[in-house]
Amino acid sequence: MIHCYQLNGYNIVLDVYSGSVHVVDDLAYDVISMYEGRSADEIVAAMLEKYSGQPEVTESEIREVLESVEDLKAKGKLFAPDAYEHLAFDFKARNTVIKALCLHVAHTCNLTCEYCFASQGKYQGERALMSFEVGKQALDFLIAHSGGRRNLEVDFFGGEPLMNWDVVKRLVAYGREQEKLHNKKFRFTLTTNGMLIDDDVIEFANKEMHNVVLSLDGRKEVHDRLRKTASGKGSYDIIVPKFQKLVESRGGKGYYVRGTFTHNNVEFTKDLLHMADLGFTELSMEPVVCGPDEPYALTEEDKPILFEQYELLAKEMIRRKKAGNGFTFYHYMIDLKAGPCVYKRISGCGSGTEYLAVTPWGELFPCHQFVGDPKYSMGDVWQGVTNTALRDEFKQCNAYARPGCRDCWARMYCSGGCAANAYHATGSIKGVYEYGCDLFRKRIECAIMMEIANAGLEPANKE
């Protein structure tokens, strides 16, 4: 399967199953687009007709392009066959180990963000803080079920995890002790709204947290519209200086300033550029996850605007990189040379199998987005995964599991997509969240185009 598209003056041909990326001129673009199912003579005739006004496009020129196509095909870089489907099921069907936990250390929050999928941290349940004993058992459970995996990920999540900071610190200390005994390496991460960041948090996070995710929606008026304190005041002025202080002292360690965009700020590029102008360079911005009836839900009418925004963002990022003030956007990070292997690309996100969420009470769910839904309770950190039927259902979630993905060129980049989004949009974890897919495909097109531009290749057509 190939995917041909034009963006920012480039003609781009993506070969889905080899992962190859080709930048082509107009003639090659047309030849490759009509290559399958036609003879060489048919293609030559069609091209001579199409380019009749351009005498430089001769039959020998067209046949030269055809030879190049044949050559790339023989090398497995164009029209490569799909040889991975059996691997998707074999790989997941074997005994899986657990390598990542999302620890919900606080089902409570000091903000009342209207769009919060966790309903202000409570996940449709009671407010609660995780005890050290539950968290310790969760780490023991992870180590015990991680098999030969060395790198183990633990995200301190909520609600707002800093509302249970002492337990977070004790769990990190316990993890550091245990990793030596079991030859493991914990990568702790923290996702926070920033309200409680102080010097102690900064020092500890910069020493122990592999990554820190800082929630900021962008411009003050956009951020404050939905991210409010209990008294209804915006949180922007409180958190931005704290985030800046934390990032400045982070010494190059990983972080993301992460925002959510909604129907209220479809021009989210302005918010990302605002974050960049505040001095942040590692940025992420996600479409809101909510029901279609919410006033801030993204609409069909928003979609073309969002596409345009993604393109604008890509072009501005190329410009800023050249000017020496570039920044990273999470969804435009794509490593064409050292990216994920085929197994990673086809085996799904790992929710419910390699990745589990733990509630303050030690209950297990397939991921943070299923927490609070009793149908998706999987067991607990003492008994382990007892709902093995559910685990097996998640094992079957992969790039080949959804009929709706069969003809999609992007499935080697999304691995079949997010099970929670699929479930919320369609009622099935094997459904397809079409709106999210449309945005995802646009992002990948932009990301690949940026790789081409940043490699210094000239576009076939100047825009």
Partner 1 sequence: MTHIQTLETRDLAGSVQNGGCGECQTSCQSACKTSCGVANQQCEKCGEEA
Site for partner 1 in 146-205 (CB under 8 A): 149-151, 153, 155, 157, 187, 189, 191
Longest dimension (CA), the chain: 78
Among positions 44-83, residues that touch partner 1 (CB under 8 A) are: 64-65, 68-69, 72, 76-77, 80, 83
Residue closer to partner 1 by CB (options 90, 133) is: 90
Shortest distance (Å) from residue 231 CB to partner 1: 27
Quick one: which of 50, 3, 49, 2 has its CA closest to 26? 50
Among positions 391-430, residues that touch partner 1 (CB under 8 A) are: 412-421
Candidate list 8, 193, 265, 369; residue touching partner 1; CB under 8 A: 369
Residue 453 found at the interface with partner 1 (CB under 8 A): no
d(CA 401, CA 388): 19
d(CA 224, CA 64): 59
Shortest distance (Å) from residue 9 CB to partner 1: 11
Contacts (Cβ under 8 Å, ≥6 apart) of 374: none
Candidate list 173, 230, 305, 457; residue touching partner 1; CB under 8 A: 457
> Which amino acid appears at position 463 of this protein?
E
Among positions 211-230, residues that touch partner 1 (CB under 8 A) are: 211, 213
Among positions 255-274, residues that touch partner 1 (CB under 8 A) are: 256, 258, 260
Residue closer to partner 1 by CB (options 117, 131) is: 117
Residue 449 found at the interface with partner 1 (CB under 8 A): no
d(CA 414, CA 404): 13
Could you tell me where the DSSP H helices lie in 154-267?
165-182, 199-208, 220-226, 236-248
Residue 309 found at the interface with partner 1 (CB under 8 A): no
At 13, which helix (H) or strand (E)?
A: strand 10-15
| Candidate ranges 36-44, 126-134, 243-251, 435-443; the one touching partner 1 (CB under 8 A) | 435-443
Among positions 93-152, residues that touch partner 1 (CB under 8 A) are: 97, 99-100, 102, 117, 149-151
The interface mask with partner 1, positions 339-358, x = CB under 8 A, is xxxxxxx--xxx---xx---
d(CA 123, CA 104): 10
Quick one: which of 81, 48, 49, 52 has its CA closest to 65? 48
Q: 3-class SS at 144?
A: helix
Number of residues that bind partner 1 (CB under 8 A): 93
As given in the structure block, the two tokens for residue 441 are 């495909």
Among positions 25-44, residues that touch partner 1 (CB under 8 A) are: 25, 27-28
CB atoms within 10 A of CB 388: 12
d(CA 461, CA 463): 6
As given in the structure block, the two tokens for residue 174 are 């316990």
Shortest distance (Å) from residue 413 CB to partner 1: 4
Is residue 40 within 8 A of residue 63, CB to CB? The reply is: yes
Candidate list 330, 361, 426, 438; residue touching partner 1; CB under 8 A: 330
Candidate list 8, 22, 358, 402; residue touching partner 1; CB under 8 A: 22
